[in-house]
Amino acid sequence: METLITIVAFLLIIGALVLVHEFGHFWVARRNGIKVEEFAFGLPLLPRIWSTKRGETTYSIYPVPIGGFVRMLGEDGESKSKRSFAAKPAGVRAKVLVAGVAMNALTAYLLLTAGFLGGMQPLALCASDYPNASYQNDVRIAAVAKDSPAAHSGLKQGDILRTIGGEKVDCSQEVPQLTSDRAGEPTAFGITREGKELTLTATPGDSGTFKGKAGIAPEDQYQDLQYPWWEAPYIALIETVAIVSATFTAIFGLFASILTQGSVPAGVAGPVGIAKLTGGILDLGAVVLLRFVAVISLSLAVFNLIPIPALDGGRLLFIGIEKLRRGKQIPAQVEQYFHMVGFALLIGLILFITYFDIIR
């Protein structure tokens, strides 16, 4: 029963965020006179399982529920109709493409604003980085990875981190940098365990799974940050920018790890990993779930901006090339070919990440 609830919650979250993203494309396209032929939820890897036509648009559901799309007239560049996507100026086409990303970013921002209005722990920065934040924080080791440098050193779940390499630990977000700066170097970890001050030595890995890591999952233990209505939107903006920055860094690290090591970093999750996280987060309350949904929404926004053919970022790249060519469009068949290859690579990437989700 618990597994079923987790799956349903995961599908509802992903489904809602995909619909928000695609609605952005749909709404801006319609506002600019572009005919939308299909508004779909799910990847079209198999025949649609449901559809209905309202006006000039077919609304569909496909059986692979981890994506969606809006199919516009002339999106493939072949239609000459004035209402086709291809017939619109580059600026209009760019607005349509960016609209999905903007909707995901706006959704996340509004969720984070609501979180700070009610009281929420920040995710991407230390509490001390936020204006008027009054807090007292202990950084607790929530988990120690098996066969990790931390495990071999004697660090345990429940230990309170005080220092790493002589530098004071103020929040969990500082730990990855403090360990990566000391990759391959024996490093003193100052901790408090059952009221006693101890110093243990661990060597963050210099290669492999634990490269630049000790193998610990740190968590902050401070009271929620809560702001009045006139201040919460600004705090949410700080958090949004910080999460976007961290997401770009994580995606860069993902591709670097795949290309250099043929593996997926431990901090990156695919559909299976996110589904598993969803199950744990459901037990932690509405505020943690809200923050989780905001992070997923921003991750979708950032990922879609990557200049890979078939993603919004890839289509924006072709528009940018068109502008550099002084308005001369790339032949439709050439662009279609690149998007087809990009889509295949994207599916391959999802399957690759999912494989590592499963073996974990």
**Tens digits of residue pLDDT in 203-256:** 998 887 788 889 998 887 766 778 889 999 999 999 999 999 988 888 887 777
Domain encompassing residue 206: 138-221
CA atoms within 13 A on the CB side of 199: 8
Identify whether 322 is a catalytic site residue.
no
Please check whether residues 205 and 239 belong to one and the same domain. no
Q: Please check the confidence at residue 69 and state whether its pLDDT lies above 90.
A: no
Residues 23-54: pLDDT tens digits?
999 999 999 999 999 999 887 878 889 999 99
Which of residues 182, 206, 221 is at a domain's end?
221
d(CA 179, CA 173): 11
Catalytic residue, from 22, 75, 239, 335: name it: 22
In a domain, 359, yes or no: yes
Nearest to 246 by CA among 162, 354, 122: 122
Please check whether residues 321 and 187 belong to one and the same domain. no
Token pair for 360: 């974990």
Which of residues 163, 186, 221 is at a domain's end?
221
Token pair for 56: 């000039």
In a domain, 145, yes or no: yes
Please check whether residues 282 and 169 belong to one and the same domain. no
In a domain, 25, yes or no: no
Number of structural domains, the chain? Answer: 2
In a domain, 171, yes or no: yes
Answering whether pTM is above 0.85, one says no
Please check whether residues 254 and 332 belong to one and the same domain. yes
Q: What interhelical angle do 232-261 and 286-304 show, nearest 10?
A: 60
Please check whether residues 125 and 264 belong to one and the same domain. yes
pLDDT band at 335 (very low <50, low <70, confident <90, very high): confident
Please check whether residues 109 and 235 belong to one and the same domain. yes
Q: 234 φ, ψ to 5°?
A: -70, -40
Q: Which residue, chain included where needed, has tokens 């591709």? A: 255
